Structure 1
């Protein structure tokens, strides 16, 4: 225990507390577009398959084997004809489709509440650029 200037006792922070990453923004939505978040939470891949993955290592393996691109929607699953601006093309989210495996895994990583050590491990992972890229999207 430490004492501060007015001699009150200040508990020392454990190393575990230093390892916890603070969250910024909306804790429930991860600051994702509402349409993307709704599609993630309602997808059978997220609700059934990813629900079974409980550890950091299981999720990293899933990223390695399943992620093939980093767009929010699976290719060809959105109708964008007639849409312009932010609602058209790959950038827009105005018309939903099938949410991508990558974004489901991104949200799964978020729900795990990663530690500093885990984030550093993802950032320096050498097996797949998708592993490094997904963790960068978290922050």
Structure 2
């Protein structure tokens, strides 16, 4: 029993010392962050005769703004948004926005073949938005397979 009391007393003293060490002494310094100047965010612009590289920032900005305002845009809305931003509708391709049995697709791709014959591809779906520049396929299209008609 005496041994138990000795162990209990030793543990109590150790815990007390640890707690005391945590609460005594000088308080930790606080960090003050000085206010900084607000930096203006530069909005990319469309380069009408520019290639894919010159227009990718604007392409991404345009589609990201659309998705922020409309989290589930359909293919017509994606195409129309790019057309309103200055991209050439006749050089666009788009995938379906629903499956053959009427279900929502996992992702949708819109592509624009730029004047330098490089493609801008924007993909939107369950995993968010991503984009890339790519060379056209051997058939000259930006998308593999048969894109949906853009007939409006």
Identify, as 1 or 2, the structure richer in helix.
1
Whether these two folds match at TM > 0.5 is no
Q: Where on the TM-score scale, by shorter chain, does this alignment land: which range?
A: under 0.3
What TM-score does the superposition give when structure 1 sets the normalisation length?
Answer: 0.25
Which is bigger in relative contact order (C-alpha 8 A, separation at least 6)?
A: 1
What TM-score does the superposition give when structure 2 sets the normalisation length?
Answer: 0.24
